[in-house]
Amino acid sequence: MSLITTHVLDISRGRPAAGVAVALDVLQDEGAGKWRALGHGVTDGDGRLRDLLPVKHTLVAGIYRLSFDVGSYFRAAGVACFYPSIAVTFEVREPSQQHHVPLLVSPFGYSTYRGS
């Protein structure tokens, strides 16, 4: 399991959001706003993505971004949504610790928090 994980829950349907594409980036140059891709994947049947980082990746302190393609998820369910993509930017201060970033999503809103 990577040190950065996520879990997407569809609160409008009361269940995990399976099949959501997620990308993980790290900020390379804050002044220029340059991001570098680190990993990507799709949430499993439980709405979880546990392997965003390569197995031997060493996490370093910095600014990271998770991008969630919720538009495709809702389109597949036949539901219109207001936020087709959600980006969650967070700071890793202690790279040896687990960073779990859940996303609670509905067609017209979302919330996130630092999980455990």
pLDDT tens digits along 78-112: 999 999 999 999 999 999 999 999 999 999 999 99
Distance CA 24, CA 42 (A): 11
Predicted model pTM: 0.94
The CATH fold of domain 4-112: Immunoglobulin-like (2.60.40)
Distance CA 49, CA 34 (A): 25
Closest alpha carbon to 83 in 91, 92, 72:
72
Question: What order of strands is seen across the sheet that includes strand 21-29?
Answer: 34-42, 21-29, 62-69, 86-92
